[in-house]
Amino acid sequence: MKRDDYLPEEAEIIEVIQETGSNLNIKTFHLKLIGDDPVFDFKPGQFLMLTVHGVGEAPFGLASSPSNRDRIVISVKETGKVTAALHELTVGDKVGLRGPYGNSFPVEEHKSQEIIFISGGIGLAPLRSAIDYVLDPDNRGDYGRVQMLQAFRSPEDMLYDYDQPRWEDAENIDIKYTIDKPCEDWEHCVGFPHKLIEDEIDCIIEGAKYYVCGPPIMIKSVINELLEIGIKPKDIITTLEMRMSCGLGKCGKCNIGHRYVCKDGPVFSYQELLDMPEEF
């Protein structure tokens, strides 16, 4: 059944996970649609519009793999009225959902290739959808080695600590973690991700794709470093989640040049971004 692009459907919160402390205040919500068609079909990289009843609506990137159709997962940083109200909700509360919207990470086109995921903070959330899809046992044989460089402000700000052991145990994978400043008992990297790429990632010029997501300044710094190394713009993939708005490109707030992030994105290759104004 085709979902209505404009009418939210009722969903129930079935699990809430506090990901970080009060500094960043990120929570992960597991949701389930209520009604005759509870299956929410989507692709890695797409997003949904969530309504907190009586408060408002906001876009959120999907953090779950489409391979798991039992629940819808989003990770939310408290930044405004809607996200603050959502953070007050708990298991059993109801919200409205529209979607999915936007394009997706081109994981199907990148089969047989090596994939490198580089994330900063909550930028790991949309990548989680693609990571879990690529590492799914049913799909793992379709892809080459997976590398990750995950950046967080501090150990307390690390996301998905319950996923990390599973990811580390996956076949043919190499994961590096970094934080902004040294701290006691931290045994991994220290420093911003763009300064670690050359030393901590086995950068492949041909036959690899680089998925990058994080704060805009981090995305730009990482992309510049990858270009310096010789990675081609077409092999760098990012998502402009910060520019998502109504989901349909109707309000115009997601407009960048001749493209609408809600309709044409949020996923773009850097090659595509080069043809757009430098507003991302």
The pair of three-digit structure tokens given for residue 274, joined into one six-digit string: 């080069």
pTM for the full predicted model: 0.92
* Tens digits of residue pLDDT in 75-89: 999 999 999 999 999
Q: Which two tokens stand for residue 44?
A: 């890695």
Q: Measured between alpha carbons, how far is 176 from 165 in angstroms, rounded to an integer?
A: 13
The share of the chain scoring above pLDDT 90, in percent, equals: 74
Calculate ∠ Cα 83-89-91, nearest 5°.
135
Mean pLDDT confidence for 62-71: 87
Q: pLDDT digits over 84-134, tens only?
A: 999 999 999 999 999 999 999 999 999 999 999 999 999 999 999 999 999
Q: In this predicted model, what pLDDT tens digit does every residue of 242-254 receive, in sequence order?
A: 777 778 777 777 7
Q: What is each CA distance from 267 to 46, 50, 146, 154, 270, in whole angstroms?
A: 8, 20, 20, 27, 10
Query: Residues 221-225: contacts with CB within 8 Å, 24+ apart?
Result: 221/192, 221/193, 221/194, 222/118, 222/120, 222/193, 222/194, 222/197, 223/270, 224/194, 225/194, 225/195, 225/197, 225/198
Residue 56 has pLDDT above 90, yes or no: yes
Q: How many CB atoms lie within 10 A of CB 89?
A: 16
Quick one: which of 210, 196, 203 has its CA closest to 152? 196
What DSSP element (H or E) covers 272?
Answer: helix 270-273
| Residue among 221, 191, 217, 209 nearest 271 (CA) | 209
Q: Say what the pLDDT of residue 267 is.
A: 93
Binding residues for [2Fe-2S] cluster: 246, 251, 254, 262
Q: Rg of the Cα trace of the chain?
A: 18
**Structure confidence at residue 243 (pLDDT):** 79
Q: Output the pLDDT for position 238.
A: 94
CA distance 76 to 182: 27
Tokens for 188? 């991994």
pLDDT tens per residue across span 156-193: 999 999 999 999 999 999 999 999 999 999 999 999 99
Tokens, residue 220: 């730009």
Helices and strands (H and E) in the chain: how many:
7, 15
Going by the annotation, the residues of the binding site are 246, 251, 254, 262
